[in-house]
Amino acid sequence: MSDNSTKWLCVGGVLSGEWREQQLEAFDVDPNDLNTHSYEPMKLINPVTKAEQDFYVYTELQEHAYDRAINFALSKNQ
C-alpha cells in the first residue's frame, strides 16, 4: 500500500488496484468511449486501517460492495 498522499487508489472497474494522481473531479478511463468506466473521488473508511481515506470509486459500484472492493484493490498492491 502506498503512503503517497498525491495518489489515490482506484476501487472497482477496470482500474481497480491502480494508483492515480489526485484530482478533485470525476474522470473517465476513455472519454471517447460511451461505455467507458467512470470514477469519482470519495472519502471512505479503509477497512484495513479503519481510517478515512480518499479513493476513486467506480461509479457503478454499489455502496454495499465498497469494503470488499477496497480490500480487493489493496490486495492487488501487495
Write down the pLDDT at residue 28. 86
C-beta separation of 53 from 46 below 8 A: yes
Quote the pLDDT of residue 34.
74
Task: Say if residues 5 and 61 touch (Cβ distance below 8 Å).
Answer: no
Q: What is the pLDDT of residues 9-48, one digit of tens each?
A: 999 999 999 999 888 788 888 878 777 889 999 999 999 9
Look up residue 44 and give its amino acid: L
Separation of alpha carbons 23 and 25, rounded Å: 6
Largest CA-CA distance found in the chain, in angstroms, rounded: 37
Please choose, from the candidates 41, 38, 44, the residue with its C-alpha nearest in 3D space to the C-alpha of residue 64.
Answer: 44
